Structure formats: C-alpha cells, structure tokens
A = this chain, B = another copy of it.
Amino acid sequence: MTTGSSHPTPEKFFDMAFAFERTAAIKTAVDLDLFSAIASGADTTAAIAKQCSASERGVRILCDFLTINGLLTKTGDRYQVTADSRAFLTKSSPMYLGGTLHFLTSPAVIGNFDKLTATVRAGTVAPEGNFVAGTEQDLWVNFAKAMVPMMMPAALGIADALKIKSAGRVRVLDIAAGHGIFGVVLAQQNAQAEIVAVDWAGVLSVATDNARKAGVGDRHRALPGDAFKVDYGTGYDIALLTNFLHHYDTPTCVALLRRVYAALNPGGRAVILEFVPNDDRVSPPIPAGFSMMMLASTPAGDAYTFAELQSMAREAGFKSVTSHALPTPETVVIAVK
C-alpha cells in the first residue's frame, strides 16, 4: 500500500481499469481447457498450443497473464498449474468450477455492471436488471445447473455442522432449493432424512433431477411456488436458507425467517448459508466484496454481517444463533427455535 510520504504510483488505477482482462482470460483458459492440458503434462507453449488447438502466440501470452495473476507458475519456459488451479480448474477434478463461469459472467450478470452508475445513483437496480423479480426465470434454471460444483464443499460443510449423520429421523425444508444439492447431501448422509424442496417449478425440476441422480429421489418432494407465499406446512427439524437472504432487505429477511420459524418444530434449526463480512464490511475481501454483486443486481440485497443475521433471526423468534466456518468464502449461521 502507498503511504502518504511515498511517491504516488498509478498501479492500483491500472489494476482496476484493466481488471476486465482477467475475467476474459480465465474464461478463455476454461474455454480452451488449458489448465487440464498443463496438468496432464503439456508444459511448453508449443505443447499446450497443440493440445488446446490454439496458437503459440496466444497461448504464451495467455499463460504469462495467468502466471502474473497467480493461476499458473512459470519456471524458465515451462508452466505448471498451482494447487488451487489443479483443484478448481482441471476438468477431472471433482471440485472443477470452470462450468460455473458461464453463469457467473453471463451477459445478464455483466450487463448490470454496465449500468452501475445509474444503480449507485438510484440505490436500486433498474427493473429490467432485477435478478430477484417474483417470476420464474430461465436465469435461475441456468444458475441452478451451474452452481452444483461450486456449492458442494459448502453442502458437505453444512452436513457436518448439523451432525446430520447422527441426527436420526429429520424432516428438512429446503427453501429456494435451486439445484437442490444442499438437501440432497443431507439425504445422502442420513437415510432417515426427508427433504421438501421449495422453488419456482421450472427451477425445482433441476433439484428433482439431481435428487433422482443422487439416489434419494424417493425422499425428495417438490413443493413448487414462491418462497414468500407457498404454504410450507409444519413439523420440520431443519430449514435450509442457502444463498437466499442476501437478495433482500432486512424487513423482508425477517418476514421470511418468521415463516421459517413457524414451520419448524421446537428445537428445529434454520441453516443460513451466506457471504458474511466482518463488522467493518471491508474484510475478508470475498464476502465483503459480494455486496457489490447485490447492489448491481438486486433492489435492496446485501452481504449481511453475523451481527445483522443474528439480529434478524432473533427478531423472528429464534433463540441461539451461532456461526460455523467453511472451507469456502461463505459461512454457515445456525439459528435454533
């Protein structure tokens, strides 16, 4: 960081201005399956170019750029994947995230950032950019399909935090289930778990499909409808609210948590998965920075701090509210009725 006494440098200006190049570079590397090629042993520009059906000039400059940005290492003229790139960017890895890029950087997502100045002025996204309009949208079907690999580590973390394997018979309400993977993992780890998944009908078909593929289709029921309006019923032991609250303002979150509270058995647990920044709202970088995505694409969403989530849950009636770290940038918050 520059201090007041040193000569000012435009490094950070350049870094921000040209940041768009990085998004393009990782998309292109994934399009070419370049990380898989390097991980499989192609380590020179010529070998990588051959395996990726690309040009040597293009591959050299792209690999150098990825090295500068920490996704590859370079020794002499030879490139290697980093441990992170091997885990998340080679296709044979179970943690492969390359497929999520199509959604994360889709024209609908990036288009909202072309209008960011107007959004900051207005304080809310224009209607046509609103990702959380109350209608079924193809966007969320694509999202549901894209996000499974990215969300699997969190799904496993939630199962651990709930000690689901030893939880006995449990009824689980999976709200805004999307891909459904959070409920599916609980059902896989506990043969006595029954899942009721709520989402718009179009999106829910993705969850139903994933449940069937995972072999838990007989304990996975679809409850189509708007999460704010559909009758959940009662008698649930666990309610999953994964990556959902951040789309809404505090009163809306509290209203939803009240509905969840009413649906839970005494002692039942609401499981909130969120990007949770520290109270300073500027750390850690990924959870704190997530609020920018909510500014650009929702009317009033945010990345809420633990204190804010705790306050919402208590206002809705919950007693104990605790936080659980995950091996991902997100946090699990569990509120007990």
Interface set of A (CB-CB < 8 Å, partner B): 1-4, 6-28, 31-32, 53-62, 64-65, 67-71, 74, 82-89, 95, 97, 100-101, 104-105, 110, 113-114, 116-117, 119-124, 150, 280-283, 285-286, 288-289, 291-296, 300, 302, 327-329
Are A12 and B83 in touch, CB under 8 angstroms? no
Are A64 and B1 in touch, CB under 8 angstroms? no
Are A327 and B7 in touch, CB under 8 angstroms? yes
Are A24 and B55 in touch, CB under 8 angstroms? no
Q: Is the interface of A mostly helix, strand, loop or mixed?
A: helix
Q: Which chain B residues border A328 with CB–CB below 8 Å?
A: 10
A84 to B110, CA, bound (A): 28
Are B113 and A62 in touch, CB under 8 angstroms? no
Q: Which chain B residues border A26 with CB–CB below 8 Å?
A: 13, 16-17
Q: Which chain B residues border A300 with CB–CB below 8 Å?
A: 57
A19 to B18, CA, bound (A): 9
Q: Name the contact of A289 in the complex, choosing from B10, B21, B58, B71 (C-beta under 8 A).
A: B21
Are A17 and B285 in touch, CB under 8 angstroms? no
Are A88 and B327 in touch, CB under 8 angstroms? no
> How far, in Å, is A109 (CB) from chain B's closest CB?
9
Q: Which chain B residues border A11 with CB–CB below 8 Å?
A: 84, 286, 329
Are B16 and A25 in touch, CB under 8 angstroms? yes
A53 to B117, CA, bound (A): 11
8 nearest A-B pairs in the assembled complex, by CB-CB distance: A55-B123, A58-B120, A8-B87, A19-B22, A24-B113, A16-B26, A19-B19, A61-B295
| Residue of A100, A104, A113, A328 with most chain B CB atoms under a 10 A cut-off | A113
Chain B's closest residue to A65 (CB) is B292
A10 to B93, CA, bound (A): 13
Q: Name the contact of A57 in the complex, choosing from B14, B97, B288, B295 (C-beta under 8 A).
A: B295
With contacts A20-B19, A21-B289, A124-B57 known, is A27 near B65, CB below 8 A? no
Are A20 and B20 in touch, CB under 8 angstroms? yes
Are B10 and A88 in touch, CB under 8 angstroms? yes
Q: Identify 5 new A-B residue pairs, CB closer than 8 A, beyond the known A4-B83, A68-B289.
A: A1-B82, A8-B95, A9-B84, A13-B89, A62-B120
Are A281 and B64 in touch, CB under 8 angstroms? yes
| Residue of A58, A62, A87, A114 with most chain B CB atoms under a 10 A cut-off | A58
Q: Name the contact of A83 in the complex, choosing from B6, B25, B69, B122 (C-beta under 8 A).
A: B6
Are B17 and A23 in touch, CB under 8 angstroms? yes
Q: Which chain B residues border A3 with CB–CB below 8 Å?
A: 83
A28 to B114, CA, bound (A): 9
A293 to B302, CA, bound (A): 34
Are B123 and A64 in touch, CB under 8 angstroms? no
Q: Can you list 12 A-B contacts (CB < 8 A)?
A: A1-B82, A2-B84, A11-B286, A16-B23, A17-B26, A17-B105, A20-B105, A54-B121, A57-B124, A58-B121, A62-B292, A65-B291
